Amino acid sequence: MTAAQTRLSLQRFIEAAQATITAHAEELTALDQAIGDGDHGHNMVRGFDAMREAAAEIGAQPFGKALQKAGMTLVMKVGGASGPLYGSLLMAMGKAGDEAPEDISTLAGIFAAGVEAVKARGKSEAGEKTMLDVLVPVQAALVAGGDATAVRAAADEGLASTEAMLATKGRASFLGERSIGHLDPGARSSALLVHAVCDVLEEE
Partner 1 sequence: MTDNVSIVIVSHSPEVAKGAADMVRQMVGEEVRVAFCGGNGDGGLGTDVAAILEALQSVYTPKGVAVLVDLGGAETNSEMAIEMLPEGQAENVKICNAPIVEGAVMAATEAAGGAALSVVCATAEEFQS
Stretch that binds partner 1, among 1-9, 26-34, 159-167, 169-177 (CB under 8 A): 169-177
Looking at residues 105 to 124 of the shown chain, list those that interact with partner 1 (rule: CB under 8 A): 121-122
Stretch that binds partner 1, among 37-45, 53-61, 109-117, 180-188 (CB under 8 A): 37-45
Q: Which is nearer to partner 1, 95 or 169 (CB)?
A: 169
- Alpha-carbon Rg for the chain, nearest whole angstrom, is 16
Using an 8 Å Cβ cutoff, are 149 and 194 in contact?
no
Among 76, 176, 181, 202, binds partner 1 (CB under 8 A): 76
Q: Residue 83 CB, nearest distance to partner 1 (Å)?
A: 7
Decide: is 77 part of the binding site for partner 1 (CB under 8 A). yes
Contact residues for partner 1, defined by CB under 8 A: 37, 39, 42-43, 46, 75-77, 79-85, 87-88, 121-122, 169-171
